[in-house]
Amino acid sequence: MKKTRSSRQLPSRYVTAGLAPEVKAVLPSTFPKRVVTIAHHGDVHVVTDAKPKTRAEREQLKDLAEAYLEQAEQVLELDGRRDEPLVLGILTQRGMDGLWGYPVKYTSGACVDANVVALRDSTGGADGEAIIAHELRHTVTFGHQLATGQAMPEYLVEGIAEVTGAGYLDRTNREAEGPIHQKAVSWMVDFTARDAEVVFGHDEPKGERESKRVNGWRRMQIGAQFIEWLRVHLGGAGVPDVVARFDQLEASLSPECSFEQAFAEQLGVPLREAQDAFIVFLEHTRDDAPARFRGTIWEDTWRIVAASK
């Protein structure tokens, strides 16, 4: 089934305009200076430093802009505290490098702060749209952190964003169009109980090799699998609205309400108990990928990956 678009109309051709004052006000100082607006709707703006030379390049920018406008409206509904614009920068490699101040060859997208996300202009199609969903989710988390002064563990911050991105592909039936996410699922098959123990902080990594193994991308994917395990398996029946509960959890954090306390209140079980059960699940499914992905947002993607082997 093809993805359905909203009724909003973008320009029929690639057009540019200057930046609105409210957009200039939220862009960080390291953001590329020579950017133009290519789409906007209400408080949602899409800007770029790219200079497309072909029709295909212009169409890709339009498709990414449209996907962003749709998804950003959902974020605005979720994040009721927002009183500033949401800005997507579709940036060239040079623009991405300048934004961070060093080369970021393997970074396709990034959440700069609660108002600005960036996507490399070469990351198009379903993967690009899923990465937009991932980074937009981070703006919600930024908003919660600014409001409460508290934060969830990093593996869950990244995990929720990754579930949001993969869920976008699942919801729009576009798993076959997302090679980056297919590759991610092919690696998730090899996650071990030990990986989760270290990511959760139950044990220290043994040596530099294991430390590198569980940091960064693997930590994000362990967090995502844990969240999906909660949705599908916790208590036998799972928690269908687990992401919404994490929204409430983030909003409830305070110096008087720790993450562990909020987790137990929202999910109905202590955090350590849920983590231990998930670790057992990883051990039991180490050689059974279909069981590991059954019922999850990665089930169809895994079928595509398995069929290609």
Question: Comparing 3 with 174, which gets the higher pLDDT?
Answer: 174
Q: What is the mean pLDDT of residues 49-59?
A: 90
Tell me the mean pLDDT in the region 176-195.
90
In one-letter notation, the amino acid at residue 69 is L
Q: Do residues 181 and 166 make contact, with C-beta atoms less than 8 angstroms apart? A: yes
pLDDT at 82 over 70: no
8 Å CB contact between 222 and 159: yes
Percentage of residues of the chain with pLDDT beyond 70:
92
Which pLDDT band holds residue 215 (cuts at 50, 70, 90)?
Answer: confident
Task: Map out the domains of the chain as residue ranges.
Answer: 21-148, 154-307
Phi, psi of 254 (to 5 degrees): -165, 170
Mean pLDDT of 19-28: 91
Query: What's the pLDDT score for residue 71?
Result: 81
Q: Which of 126-130, 204-208, 271-275: highest mean pLDDT?
A: 271-275
* pLDDT greater than 60 at residue 3: no
CATH topology of domain 21-148: Zincin-like (3.30.2010)
The pTM of this model reads 0.87
pLDDT above 50 for 5: no
**Amino acid 1: pLDDT:** 34
State the chain's mean pLDDT as an integer: 87
